[in-house]
Amino acid sequence: MKVNVEVECSPEEARRFLGLPDVTRANEVYVDALTNAMQGAGSFDQLQELTRQIAPMGEMGLKLFQKFLESGVAMAMTGAGAASAKSKKDGD
């Protein structure tokens, strides 16, 4: 049986319904600070340095996240291969 439920509401209504906190003010402060920092970046090197500061753990964090995703894909592929081999073995 398949049931589809369609809800039409604003993001604010969804946030309240799910009991999530209102972070509008914090978001505005973050966007303003980021905008001011970007305006101060006059060269590519300054912009690159700003990007490193904004990213959690900088480049190391991004590389760690990439390795995490790659290992997840590798495990999924290994698991799929093992499941396929097992089904072939069981079928014989």
Q: 73 and 86 in contact (C-beta within 8 Å)?
A: no
Each residue's pLDDT tens digit, 15-57: 898 898 888 888 888 888 777 777 766 677 776 776 666 666 6
Same domain, 65 and 81: yes
Rounded to 10°, the helix 44-54/58-91 angle is 60
Domain ranges, residue 15: 8-54
First to last CA, the chain: 34
C-alpha Rg value of the chain to the nearest Å: 23
In the block, which residue shows the tokens 């340095």? 49
Same domain, 40 and 68: no
Same domain, 50 and 75: no
pLDDT band at 11 (very low <50, low <70, confident <90, very high): confident
